[in-house]
Structure 1
Amino acid sequence: MRLSCLQENLSKGLAIVGRAAASRSTLPITNNVLLSTDEGRLKLSATNLEMAVSCWIGAKVEEEGATTVPAKLLTDFVATLPNDKIEIALSAKKIMTLKCRRFEARMTGVDAKDFPPIPKVEGGVSVKIDVNEFKKGIARVVFAAATDESRPVLTGINAEFDGGVLTLAAADGFRLAVYKMALAEPASQKVKAIIPSKTLSEVSRLITDGEETIGITVDSQKSQILFRLKNIELVSQLLQGSFPQYNQIIPQSHTTRSVIEVAQFLMAAKTAQIFARDGGGIVRLIMTPGGGKAPGRLSITARSEEIGDDQAELDAAVSGEESKIAFNGKYLLDVLSVLSEDQVALEVTGPSSPGVLRPVGTDNYVHVVMPMFVQW
């Protein structure tokens, strides 16, 4: 193998695939990155056996070939080189030499034949979606996925492709987030897949401003999924199992509805969480309807026996009866932090029923939070 490419391009490419390389593994070669020539370009690939990322960069290829070298070693070295042309050559003894201006390094490689094959996702169902909408959808659900491995399906995001709509849902037993978005290219048939939350977080990171659409393919066995961007492909294993029937969890009615400014609600939730951290995470909310010309209000309190307490009052358009509910402060902060709308509606039925948050002006996102049982 003999080729040359720009330091800037190689450094960017290694940063893209490097996170997929295993840091600790029983299979040492998964700590490596695969470099191979592919139709006049340099292809970089890395895998941890659950997820694989490939990236293509421009290169002047003089001699075809492939090798693998430690991902961290190569990434760290290339990142320190000057922004100039890098010449890469592979000897018969599998020693890879890199030259850039007056810098030169040699790295011992492992035969590319020993590298785990990158899965090819063919057949199945393929769709296309606007990247900005997809990134927004990931941000609004991924934090609600479970981190506890006791129920593996809950560590994933349930993706349902149905006609021209993609629905993403995440739940961890204490909260539920559901986001619907339009597909740029509809699905030929209805299909469900549980995508690891780490995979979707990585896809979101890989999306850049220059992209317009992202291609998604779920294979016919529903065991793997492929995300295709301009010069990047990510293949991931899918989680097997049945995702809970989450529609049954979403309350269909409410006795009190409060509409609050998101920025003020977020600020009050942040200050409450400072005290709630030492008070079991409990944040209490009291919704009081207005009377006459007086606006309704939302009272947010948190207290810790050792530190003190905090209270904030916000103007709110409250319809229905006065109501109380308590949430885990972190769950409230998580959802308010991802909203870009000006206002949010909080719908409750009582202190022992789930609370529902919906952005005002859109009907494609709903967030359900289970209440905490407290002494009032």
Structure 2
Amino acid sequence: MKLVVIKSNFKTGLGAIERVSGEGLNLPILKNVLIEASDNAIRLTATNLEVATSYRVPGKVIENGKASVPLRVLSDVITNLQSERLNLEKKENSVEIKTENYSATLQGLSADDFPLVPKIKNQKTFLEMSGGVLKEALAQVISSAQPSELRPELSSVLFCFSFESVKLVATDSFRLSEKTIPESQIKTNHEKEFKILIPLKTAQELMRILKEEESVGIYHNENQILFKTENFELISRLIEGNFPDYSAIIPKAFHAEITVNREEFIQALRLTGVFSTRANEVRVLAHENKKNIEIFSTDQALGENTYVLPAKNHGKTKEANFNLRYLLDGLRALKTEDAFLGMNEDNKPALLKAPGDASFFYILMPILKT
């Protein structure tokens, strides 16, 4: 293997895949990057056996071949080089890096020992959308998922395809987010509807690497899912199991309905939350005949505070206690100027959404009063 690349391009490729490498795992080869060069195509690949990512780097291939070297060391070297033109050449199981004033030899392992990355053979059946659309949808729901070995379905994002839309859903059993991507924003030739569970870490990695302007193709089989752009591929195992049936818990009506400026609500919660350090709990009070809400928090050691925030109230007087972080996560997931909060009995979920926007909602359970 012998090739010439531009530093900035190579650095971008390494940055795209490095978080997937198997740092901390017992197999040394998983800490490596696989460099493959053939027919003027240079591809970098990393894997942790559950997720694999690869990135195509432009460059000149002088001699075809492949090599496997420690990803972290290679990335550190490339980052600190001053030269833009890099020459890489494989010598047995090592790789030589040369510029006009620098040379290094990286000891590696046999490229033949690098794990085989699974392939999805049928790429004729596809689903396609803008990278920006998928990235924003993931960002809106991902905070509701939670790492869990006992309940892997809670450590996932439900990807639900129908002929009218794609829905992304996540829950940790205390709150739930659902984002609907309409038919107008997707392209597909699927003839069957399907539901699959994407691991949380896969969703996080995908959200990190997707770019607004690029198109992403989505392919899957029974065990894996592939996300593919012009230069980047991510393939991941799917989670087995059943996502909780949440349709029955979506509130249809509310005792109290609040419409408030979203950013002002966030700032008010941040301020009142200073006094909720132990319990991480705030109380929201909506009055039937007032044009404001009260946000209250208290701590026996610190004291208490109340914030009065202008709002449009409809319905009865109602108060509820919420987990501060959960409430903030829901508000941050909204993309509009105003936020709608609907509240019911203490043992029934509340709902956050953008007024007039049915594409996203966020359900959270109040904290029962003691």
TM range (shorter): over 0.9
Contact 1:164 1:184 (8 Å CA) reproduced: no
Give the 3-state SS of the residue equivalent to 1:194 in structure 2: strand
Distance 1:190 1:352 in 2: 34
Find 1:217's aligned residue among 204, 214, 219. Answer: 219
Contact 1:289 1:317 (8 Å CA) reproduced: no
Q: What are the within-5 Å matches in structure 2 for residues 320-331 of structure 1? A: 320-331=315-326
Q: What are the within-5 Å matches in structure 2 for residues 180-191 of structure 1? A: 180-182=180-182, 183-186=185-188, 187-191=190-194
Find 1:208's aligned residue among 207, 211, 214. Answer: 211
Distance 2:83 2:358 in 1: 48
1:15 and 2:35 are equivalent in the alignment: no
Residue 243 of structure 1, CA deviation = 0.5
Find 1:334's aligned residue among 318, 329, 333. Answer: 329
Contact 1:164 1:185 (8 Å CA) reproduced: no
Residue 256 of structure 1, CA deviation = 1.3
Deviations 1:61-86 (CA, angstroms, capped at 9, x unpaired): 11100010001010001110114210
In the alignment, which residue of structure 2 is the partner of 1:58? 58
Residue 361 of structure 1, CA deviation = 2.6
Q: Which runs of 4+ in 1 moved over 3 A?
A: none
Distance 1:209 1:344 in 2: 25
Q: What are the within-5 Å matches in structure 2 for residues 1-376 of structure 1? A: 1-91=1-91, 93-123=92-122, 125-182=125-182, 183-186=185-188, 187-211=190-214, 213-219=215-221, 221=222, 223-278=223-278, 280-290=279-289, 295-375=290-370
Deviations 1:26-71 (CA, angstroms, capped at 9, x unpaired): 2210110000113312110000001000000111111100010001
TM-score (norm 2): 0.96
Count of equivalent residues: 366
Q: 1:164 to 1:218 in 2, by over 3 A?
A: farther
Amino acid at match of 1:177: S
Bigger Cα displacement from structure 2, 182-191 vs 50-59: 182-191
Q: Which runs of 5 or more residues in structure 1 are unaligned?
A: none
Q: Which runs of 5 or more residues in structure 2 are unaligned?
A: none
TM-score (norm 1): 0.94
Distance 2:288 2:131 in 1: 41
Residue 297 of structure 1, CA deviation = 1.5
User: Percent of aligned positions with the same letter in both sequences?
Assistant: 28
Distance 1:164 1:100 in 2: 54
Residue 194 of structure 1, CA deviation = 0.4
Contact 2:292 2:311 (8 Å CA) reproduced: yes
Deviations 1:86-136 (CA, angstroms, capped at 9, x unpaired): 001112x32210001211000112111100011112327520112222111
Give the 3-state SS of the residue equivalent to 1:344 in structure 2: strand
Give the 3-state SS of the residue equivalent to 1:205 in structure 2: helix
Deviations 1:299-333 (CA, angstroms, capped at 9, x unpaired): 11111000011211111111111111110001011
Contact 1:82 1:100 (8 Å CA) reproduced: no
